[in-house]
Every structure is written in structure tokens, then in C-alpha cells.
Amino acid sequence: MSLTFGIITAGGNESFIHEMISSIRIQNIPFYEIIIVGGPSVWDSSIYHIPFDESVKKGWITRKKNIICQEAKYDTVVLMHDYVTLDSGWYEGYLKYGFNFSICVNPVLSPNRYRFLDYCLFQNFNGGIFNDGHLLPYSYKASKAINKIMYISGTYYIIKKDIALKYPLDERLVHQQGEDVVLCQTLAENDIPLNFNPHSIVHLLKQKYVSTIEITAEKLELLNSFTEEDIERIFFLQRRGMRKWLFEITGIKF
């Protein structure tokens, strides 16, 4: 399989990026490329570096990721912030899982090897039902309906180029304005499932302090009891809540 690895950076994490590049190179992937958008041009000629003017819009990660997808040589694009590294066996895990998906994530672990935001439900826009735990068990098989209230963090995910071009990230949004939530909701509206591969692992090179608590057995039972009508109602409410929140922080109507 041929892969494009896209790394976004604003500079300052060059040591992390060196680790990331090494973790990619040891996977023995037959054909791949590495694109870095932003930061200084300090990379060897095998790396495609695209300069980025940070002064145009601070934290403009949506633009950076869209550029990567536009420039990608290959059909499968791995999007990564500049502190995510592949564990050994990552590529073999994807060969085992397969590449027949539109968007996918796998276990994402923090430096202390606890789970980060990988296979999870929306936390903030579902009426608070799962605020005390929203990470799904890795063995959980999400239905098409449940998929509508799931979420993939923008820190790291894999997406097909044609999907990324058809549903680009909203460039009105910048870092920490929920661009990943908007993407997941847009894909859900268009019946594009979020896939999970349990066989490959990545981990963060720095600690991220967010609530990453696994769902309780009681709440998992509640989740499984939801009808399709329940899910549609929750999805409508979280979509409306997200739009309201974005308007409050940006003044832009979505």
C-alpha cells in the first residue's frame, strides 16, 4: 500500500518530527512520502516541505491539512500533528486490518501509555450523557447509527484523499475551534463511517491534558439500548449545539 504521511507544524518541535520520520522509515512501507507543512526548512531532500506563513491566521491547521491532502501523491493520507509517532508494527497492523475505509483511527496512547482520544463518542455535544466516560472499548463494534455520535480527534487520523477533497476541513476554523468535530459531523451527515483499527498503535511525544476516560459498563449498556430515532435526536442536538458554540466563539454562522 502507498501512503502519504502529512505532518503539520508551526516550528519548535523539530526533535519530535525527527522521531516521527524515523518511526515511519522503520515500518518498511514499499511506497510512501512525507509532507511537512510549516516550520523551518531543515529536512533532507526526501521530505517534501511546504513553507507556511503563520502570520496570516494563527493556528490555521485546517489550511495546512487541506494543503497536504491536495498535494498528496497517494490515495491514503495519514494526518499527524507534530508530536505523534508510530509504534513498531504499525504498518503490519494496517496490512492485517486492510485499507478499505474512508477515514480511520487506531489506538492513540499518551506518553504514559494511557489512552488519548482515539475511539470515542462525542463528549461535549450529546447533552452530557457520556461526560463521565466516552472512550469506547477497542472490541466494540459500532453500528451505522452509533457511528453518527462518534468522533475522531484531529491530532491523528487516516483519510482517503478523495474524501478529504470532497469534504475538506472548514478553513474558517483554527486550532481548538472544533474543526475535527465539524468534520466528523459532516461525514456522519453523509453516511461515511468512522473506522477503527485495533492492530496498529501510535503514541504522543508530549502529554495532552484532556479527559480520556473509558465508558462504564452501565453507560455502554445504555448506548446499546438507543434506537435509531434516539441517535438521530442526539445527533441533531449535538450538531445544533456545535453550531451555536462556534457562532459564540467565532461570530460565524455554520
Nearest alpha-carbon partner for 49 in 67, 75, 32: 67
CATH number, domain with residue 95: 3.90.550.10
Question: 3-class SS at 71?
Answer: helix
**Model pLDDT, residue 254:** 85
Nearest of 44, 34, 4 to residue 164 by alpha carbon: 4
Burial class of residue 170, CB neighbours in 10 A (0-12, 13-18, 19+): middle
Q: What is the pLDDT of residues 147-189, one digit of tens each?
A: 999 989 999 999 999 999 999 999 999 999 999 999 999 999 9
* pLDDT confidence band for 128 (50 / 70 / 90): low
- Paired strand residues for 8: 37, 81
Is 77 inside a domain boundary?
yes
Cα–Cα distance list, 120 to 15, 94, 186, 200, 249 (Å): 30, 20, 17, 17, 24
Which is nearest to 187 in space by CA: 105, 98, 85? 105
Chain mean pLDDT for the chain: 93
How far is Cα 118 from Cα 180, in angstroms, rounded to an integer?
Answer: 12
Cell of 18: 525527527
The yes-or-no verdict on residue 3 having pLDDT over 80 is yes
In a domain, 180, yes or no: yes
Question: If pLDDT is split at 50, 70 and 90, which confidence band does 134 have?
Answer: confident
Q: Is residue 221 part of a domain?
A: no
Residue among 36, 32, 33 nearest 17 (CA): 36
Judged on CB neighbours under 10 Å (0-12, 13-18, 19+), 219 is middle
Look at residue 131 in the predicted model and tell me its pLDDT.
Answer: 66
User: Is 146 inside any structural domain?
Assistant: no
Q: For residue range 216-229, what is the model confidence (pLDDT) as tens digits? A: 888 899 899 999 99
Name the one residue in this structure whose C-alpha cell is 511537512: 36
Q: Which whole number is the average pLDDT over 111-137?
A: 79
In this prediction, residue 219 carries a pLDDT of 87
146 with 223: CB under 8 angstroms? yes
Question: Considering the domain boundaries, does residue 131 fall inside one?
Answer: no
- 3-state helix, strand, coil split of the chain in percent (to 5) is 35, 20, 45
Q: What is the pTM of this model?
A: 0.94
Task: Please give the tally of structural domains in the chain.
Answer: 1
Question: Residue 172 falls within a domain, yes or no?
Answer: yes
Residue 104, pLDDT score: 97
pLDDT bucket at 110, cuts 50 / 70 / 90: very high
Tell me the residue range of the domain where 116 lies.
2-122+152-208
